[in-house]
Amino acid sequence: MRTVGRHLTHLGLNRRRFLDPTGENRLPRRITARWPGHMVHLDVKKAGVIPDGGGRRAHGRGSDQARQVERTKNKGARAGYTYPHSAVDGFSRPAYTEALPHEKAVTAITFPHRARAFLAAHGIGHIHRVVTDNGSRHRAHDFAKALLGARHQCIRAHTPRHNGKVERYNRILTEEFPHARTWTSEQQRTDAPAVWNVHYNHHRPHTAAGNQPPATRLHDGVTNVVASYS
Q: Is residue 97 part of a domain?
A: yes
Phi, psi of 151 (to 5 degrees): -70, 135
- State which H helix or E strand residue 81 sits in: strand 81-89
Phi, psi of 130 (to 5 degrees): -120, 125
Report the 10 Å Cβ neighbour count for 172: 13
Q: Is residue 205 part of a domain?
A: yes
Q: Look up the domain containing 116 and give its range.
A: 40-53+82-217
Nearest to 84 by CA among 230, 180, 209, 197: 197
Q: Is residue 74 part of a domain?
A: no
Q: Is residue 224 part of a domain?
A: no
DSSP state of 99: E
Q: Is residue 223 part of a domain?
A: no
Q: What is the CATH number of the domain that holds 133?
A: 3.30.420.10
Q: Is residue 180 part of a domain?
A: yes
pLDDT computed for residue 48 by the predictor: 85
Q: How confident is the model at residue 222 (pLDDT cuts 50, 70, 90)?
A: very low
What domain count does the chain have?
A: 1
pLDDT, tens digit (0-9, with 9 covering 90-100), for 68-110: 767 666 665 566 899 999 999 999 999 999 999 999 999 999 9
pLDDT, tens digit (0-9, with 9 covering 90-100), for 1-59: 678 778 778 877 777 666 665 555 556 667 789 999 999 999 999 988 887 777 666 66
Q: Is residue 169 part of a domain?
A: yes
Q: Is residue 68 part of a domain?
A: no
pLDDT, tens digit (0-9, with 9 covering 90-100), for 155-209: 988 888 889 999 999 999 999 988 888 888 889 999 999 999 999 999 999 988 8
Q: For the whole model, what pTM was predicted?
A: 0.79
